[in-house]
Structure 1
Amino acid sequence: MSFIQKLEAIAIDTYEQIINRELMAWKKKILRKSGTFERMSKTAQNKMNTFIPKKVHGVITESVRNLVEAVLKGSKFVSKERDVSCLNLQQKDQWVKETIVTYRKTAVIEGAGTGAGGILLGLADFPLLLSIKMKLLFEIAGLYGFDAKKYEERLFILHIFQLAFSGEEKRRETLDIIEHWNETEHTRELDWQEFQQEYRDQIDFVKMFQLVPGIGAAVGAYANHQLLEQLGETAMNGYRLRILSEKE
């Protein structure tokens, strides 16, 4: 091994040590118990949900059902193939971060536009945002070298989504599945009704303000920025867990 190769190997080892520390901090955040303020916010959210029109709930439910079906069937979100076999984890991470920024900007523009258009366009934001989120996840899977044409990989993508947008108990359960993904067979079907309920419970309270005239554009832009940031962080760390687990 040449001197340059030794330096590169040291750099890779150092970067992976940094990633392991980041993963520990991220998992601690995922697994922490809800504080008093969060529990109060959840109670307020549940109360607010009773005032949300059935039409809104219906739009979200149907959008999520269609999304799960499209992902499991396969072809709709599969991105173009990229050869990333020559890239190390640090290089993949950088490409993924740049991709998250691009999709986040798209979501912000879309959220501001639909939020400014009143209740009908505000409702249209739900399926549009879901599509943006899922395209991002498929893109990230490819950049980390996983083939989303495979059913198992598409199922993993849905678990990443669920980890990003679920309540405390479901987050713990889903993180455990992701951490041990390489050790088990994945034949169990996803419960899309539970999937959509968890998603609705996590985003309803914020996104409802997007339907309010006068503030919808600002709320839509901010909410979409935060939601894409949250999803991107979850996806990056989910795939990092798999990659480092495979190396071990």
Structure 2
Amino acid sequence: MEPTYTIYEQQTIRQLRRWQIGLHKEPGLLERTSKNLQTRVNTLIPDKVHKTITATVKGIVQTSLFGMDFIPKNEPLTGATLAESDAKAEELLKLYKKIAAAEGAGTGAGGILLGLADFPILIGIKMKFLFELAHAYGYSTKDYRERLFILYVFQLAFSSSTKKPALYETIRNWKAIAATLPPAASYTEQIDWQQLQQEYRDTIDFRKMLQLVPGIGAVVGAWANYGLLEELGVAGMNSFRIRKIMDKTAGAAEAEFF
């Protein structure tokens, strides 16, 4: 029996199609120019700073994914409609963008040391948002497979355009992938931490490194953090929307829509 979609779900499916097309586009002139400028900025940053950031990315992500501290106290919104989950997700995104902007402004105004402190704090804010987002769409982060899904959403939001199509395919086929996952302890060894760190740094470095510049750190910090949460919100909401629609159809929507 063919599933019946609400008008809201039909509109969302059309939005997801456009999003998918955008993920598969070649990088434009602006993105290539930004990458070149970012590379120049990176050469001006001491190697010690780069190593600190790299270690921080791995440490915070590992802690959030394989610990229990980030799991929300509220139960997942199982049984909620897509519209209801989206409404809750929008509330969360609005809140976390404000939190991230305030944090970026505060650390940005404090010079290079506080600017560096912003990196682990911001990653923690992002991961906490994604955990809350999963529950908004009815998926419990007590299940380690849901925390691994969050890792792929995180990477999708902060990877180069060349990596996004493959990450999208992982998200689109997550139900089948999750069914084949080994125990959590062994799966952690299969994660390419080096690639995750490098892609994340390459995506955010230009904006965040400007935060370390004296005199403009506060303004740039607020702007950068707000924008990074916005990007994460788009990737996160769309990833969970796909899953929720496909769950409704037991996967039948995969070939037709995504």
TM-score computed with the length of structure 2 as normaliser: 0.88
| Structure 2: distance between partners of 1:182 and 1:138 | 18
Task: List structure 1 segments (4+ residues) > 6 angstroms apart after TM superposition.
Answer: none
Name the aligned partner's letter for residue 16 of structure 1.
E
Aligned-pair distance for 1:85?
Answer: 2.5
| Structure 2: distance between partners of 1:141 and 1:72 | 13
Aligned-pair distance for 1:46?
Answer: 1.7
- Percentage of pairs with the same residue: 49
Count how many residue pairs are aligned between Structure 1 and Structure 2: 239
| Structure 1: distance between partners of 2:245 and 2:79 | 17
1:50 aligns with 2:51: no
Name the aligned partner's letter for residue 197 of structure 2.
Q
In structure 2, do the counterparts of structure 1 residues 83 and 234 end up closer, same or farther at CA, with 3 Å as the change threshold? closer
Aligned counterpart, 1:5: none
| Structure 1: distance between partners of 2:76 and 2:216 | 44
1:111 aligns with 2:112: no
Q: 1:150 aligns with which of 140, 143, 148?
A: 143
Alignment of structure 1 residues 111-190 onto 2, 5 Å: 111-184=104-177, 185-187=180-182, 189-190=190-191
Aligned counterpart, 1:36: 29
Aligned counterpart, 1:3: none
| Structure 2: distance between partners of 1:76 and 1:190 | 21
Contact 1:114 1:124 in 2 (8 A): yes
| Structure 2: distance between partners of 1:80 and 1:151 | 16
| Structure 1: distance between partners of 2:33 and 2:230 | 24
Name the aligned partner's letter for residue 211 of structure 2.
Q
Listed as ranges, the gaps of 5+ residues in structure 1 are 1-8
Alignment of structure 1 residues 60-79 onto 2, 5 Å: 60-79=53-72
Listed as ranges, the gaps of 5+ residues in structure 2 are 250-258
| Structure 1: distance between partners of 2:128 and 2:171 | 20
SS across alignment from 2:80: coil
| Structure 2: distance between partners of 1:206 and 1:90 | 33
Contact 1:74 1:149 in 2 (8 A): no
| Structure 1: distance between partners of 2:17 and 2:221 | 32
SS across alignment from 2:163: helix
TM-score computed with the length of structure 1 as normaliser: 0.92
Contact 2:80 2:137 in 1 (8 A): no
| Structure 2: distance between partners of 1:217 and 1:242 | 38
* 1:67-105 C-alpha deviation (Å, 9 max, x unpaired): 232133230211113252242110110011001100110
Aligned counterpart, 1:242: 243
Aligned counterpart, 1:80: 73
1:229 aligns with 2:233: no
Aligned-pair distance for 1:225?
Answer: 0.5
* Alignment RMSD: 1.6
Contact 1:179 1:241 in 2 (8 A): yes
| Structure 2: distance between partners of 1:37 and 1:104 | 25
| Structure 2: distance between partners of 1:59 and 1:180 | 34
Contact 1:146 1:153 in 2 (8 A): yes
| Structure 2: distance between partners of 1:67 and 1:124 | 12
Contact 2:76 2:134 in 1 (8 A): no
In structure 2, do the counterparts of structure 1 residues 131 and 91 end up closer, same or farther at CA, with 3 Å as the change threshold? same
Aligned-pair distance for 1:36?
Answer: 2.1
Contact 1:59 1:126 in 2 (8 A): no
